[in-house]
Amino acid sequence: MLNAEHNSENIVLTRIQVKINVPFDRLKNYLSELNDLGLIENENTLKLTEKGRQYLEEYENVLDFMKRMGIAYR
């Protein structure tokens, strides 16, 4: 979702909220946390920083690795 939103030009927080099915205030908390960790540029967009991009790549690599290992992960 982060990858898709990062690539789109119009990021709408309510659309993200519907997709991940969390209350808006909790979404804001998550975005604040991502911002504090330096993974997104600011809390109003989902534009990834370089660090965020690297984290997403690593995350996808590990998920692929776990799939190849035959380990299910939600």
Partner 1 sequence: MSLAAEFAVEVVSAVLCFVLVKFMFKPYELTKEGRYLGLPLGFAFFGIAEVSLAIGIFESLNELRFLSLVTRTFAFVFLATTYYFSKEPTKNSRLFWDVTFSLLVVALTTLSLLAIRGSTIGIEVPTSLSVFLRVLSLICISYICLHTLRSHIKAPEPTTIWIPLGFILLGVSQYSLLIWAGDENYAYGIAFVGAMVARLVGLGVFIVVSYLSLHKTKNVNTDERNSA
Write down the least CB distance from residue 50 to partner 1, Å: 12
49: buried, middle or exposed (CB in 10 Å: 19+, 13-18, 0-12)?
A: middle
What gap in Å lies between CA 49 and CA 14, rounded to an integer? 21
Q: Taking CB under 8 A as the rule, does residue 10 contact partner 1?
A: no
Name the one range near partner 1 by CB under 8 A: 13-21, 23-31, 44-52, 64-72. 64-72
Cα 68 to chain centroid distance, Å, stands at: 23
Each residue 38-57 as x (binds partner 1 by CB under 8 A) or -, in order, gives -------------------x
